Structure 1
Amino acid sequence: MITLDEASPIPPFEQIREQIGDLIRAGELGPGQRLPSIRQLAGDLRVAAGTVARAYSELETAGLIQTSRATGARVRDGQGLAGDMRRAAMQFVATAQGNSLSLEDALGAIRSQWRQE
């Protein structure tokens, strides 16, 4: 399900976050579907548990998953437009940061696109 490119300059937690997010957006992971435990995925990918925990935390902040001690990590039920906007914003921010864009440059890109619509 998830693979890491060890030669990539993208940190492992970002690769995990991006791949799980893509699977959710593509509908390959549906609402309520359980994700592997942090320890299980970390073992499968041969990374530190903290790496997976960080990816899961960012996915939860983006509204894509929810976590609890009782049920683990699960794909969050659809959030409508608000959830779509959060996911788009998360993806935009990750891309901007991955390309070392400043906040001002990123906001400038949004303003420029807004005017074109």
Structure 2
Amino acid sequence: MGVMMTIDHDAAVPPYQQICDGIAARIEAGELTVGARLPSVRGLAEELGVAPGTVAKAYTELETAGLVVAKGRSGTQVAAGGDTTRALAAAAADDFAVRVRRLGLGTDEVLRIVRASLERG
């Protein structure tokens, strides 16, 4: 798979999330079909100029979201089925939850903040 993406190291979005978003967008657009094999972690890291751990984290997020499956020596492949939009939203929510927990805010307060943000558009 030619990745056809670049990483913006100055962006507010972390590189692993840029990788997730780029691969998910290609799956959503049908450019990556079920069973398509993704590059190796090291290969993609080299291609994008990021650390292998960054790609590994992206692949783990994509797997958690149900978009890809790790097949051991056969590599990581696009998964069959699933609602990619909701899976991506769930992965983003998980990432958000990890960050918010560090702030020490209560669940009700965080939900009010998120609701207000969503209502602002």
Q: TM-score range by the shorter chain?
A: 0.7 to 0.9
Give, in whole Å, the separation in 2 of the partners of 1:41 and 1:29: 15
Point out where structure 1 has 5 or more consecutive residues left out of the alignment.
none
Q: Secondary structure at the match of 1:8?
A: coil
Residue 73 (1) aligns with residue 76 (2): yes
Residue in 2 aligned with 1:58? 61
Cα pair distance change 1:9/1:84, threshold 3 Å: closer
TM-score (norm 2): 0.72
TM-score (norm 1): 0.74
1:27, CA displacement in angstroms?
Answer: 1.2
- Residue correspondence of structure 1 range 75-114 to structure 2 within 5 A: 75-79=78-82, 85-91=86-92, 93=93, 104=108, 107-108=111-112
Q: 1:34·1:75 contact (CA, 8 Å) conserved in 2?
A: yes
Give, in whole Å, the separation in 2 of the partners of 1:55 and 1:85: 17
Runs of 4+ in structure 1 over 3 Å off: 94-97, 102-110
Give the number of equivalent residue pairs: 107
Cα RMSD, aligned residues only: 2.8
Cα pair distance change 1:39/1:78, threshold 3 Å: same
* Counterpart selection for 1:36 from 30, 35, 39: 39
1:9, CA displacement in angstroms?
Answer: 1.9
Give, in whole Å, the separation in 2 of the partners of 1:106 and 1:31: 36
Give, in whole Å, the separation in 2 of the partners of 1:60 and 1:31: 13
Residue in 2 aligned with 1:21? 24
Give, in whole Å, the separation in 2 of the partners of 1:33 and 1:45: 19
What percentage of residue pairs aligned between the two structures are identical? 41
Give, in whole Å, the separation in 2 of the partners of 1:105 and 1:22: 32
Q: Secondary structure at the match of 1:66?
A: strand
Cα pair distance change 1:106/1:26, threshold 3 Å: farther
